[in-house]
Amino acid sequence: MILLDGKKASAIVQETIAKEVSSIKKQGKRPPHLVAILVGKNGASVTYVNNKVTACERVGFNSSIIELPENVTQDELLKKIKELNEDNNIDGFIVQLPLPKHINEQEVLLSINPDKDADGFHPTNFGRMALGLESFIPATPYGILELLTQYQIPTEGKNVVVIGRSDIVGKPISILLSQKPWNATVTLTHSRTHNLTDYTKKADIIIAAIGIPNFLKAEMIKDGVVIIDVGITRVEDSSSKKGFRIVGDVDFENVKEKTSHITPVPGGVGPMTIAMLLKNTLNAYIRNQKR
């Protein structure tokens, strides 16, 4: 079994970006600038945003967080987004999800200028991605592709089973892997799939993105499968300083020896997501400079 080390693979991507930023700065230009909008104080969201900002600083980007209160109105949020859309010194921005219930997430995502949509969630970018045109690819699927590439895992003609059909992971990674140059045969499964094991047992590669700790068991997979575990669930753990630990969708301890490659949680897909958000921001900067 080979561990797909997301920390290592992410560091490789970040080193390349840092070199590019250093050369940009040497030319006397300003570095890329990513802004994160954080609404409320959801613990996981605060951690994610802080991790993203720290990563920006590590590669030499400018970055800032706009913190808005939990009870911010949708209009106020849309006004902030409009300001960012029009500010030429901001190359990309993200609105950390989930948003409070009184805010319509779709309307918010639609209001983001697709050229600054570093998360790649805008329908224009999703549509372009689905058509195989140049676009911002959502960071998590992009990170999975980068991990498969760095570890030279062949996908052409392989049986890929994706579990979970979210707009940000399951759907886009299914579309991407079925396209050139990945050329996989993809099955997208979800909560209404009958007899899931019939599919997972035949899979050469399984991508689990459901958010149910330890869901994928050893008896559901064949020997030699490649497993990408996207799940991140906080599970109470009094022995940990934080009071919780992070658990993936895969029953890692019982599954790992049956696999040829597997991502750990944490330290697998999570760090890749951050690296690819930086890559999207750098791409947004390059586009912005051309305008």
Question: For binding to ligand NAD (CB under 6 A), which residues are involved?
Answer: 140, 163-166, 168-170, 189-191, 193, 196, 209-212, 230-233, 269-270, 273
Q: Is 91 in the active site?
A: no
Decide whether 61 or 199 has the Cβ nearer to ligand NAD.
Answer: 199
* Rounded CA separation 119/139 (Å): 6
What residues does 159 pair with on adjacent strands? 185
Of the residues 14, 52, 80, 249, only one is catalytic, namely 52
Of the residues 91, 96, 116, 117, only one is catalytic, namely 96
Decide whether 58 or 287 has the Cβ nearer to ligand NAD.
Answer: 58
Decide whether 22 or 197 has the Cβ nearer to ligand NAD.
Answer: 197
Decide whether 33 or 52 has the Cβ nearer to ligand NAD.
Answer: 52
Minimum distance between the CB of residue 97 and ligand NAD, rounded to whole angstroms? 8
Q: Is 290 in the active site?
A: no
Of the residues 117, 119, 229, 251, only one is catalytic, namely 119
CA atoms within 13 A on the CB side of 264: 11
Q: Is 74 in the active site?
A: no
38 phi/psi in degrees, rounded to 5: -120, 120
Minimum distance between the CB of residue 189 and ligand NAD, rounded to whole angstroms? 6
Minimum distance between the CB of residue 194 and ligand NAD, rounded to whole angstroms? 10
Minimum distance between the CB of residue 251 and ligand NAD, rounded to whole angstroms? 14
Q: Which positions are catalytic?
A: 52, 96, 119
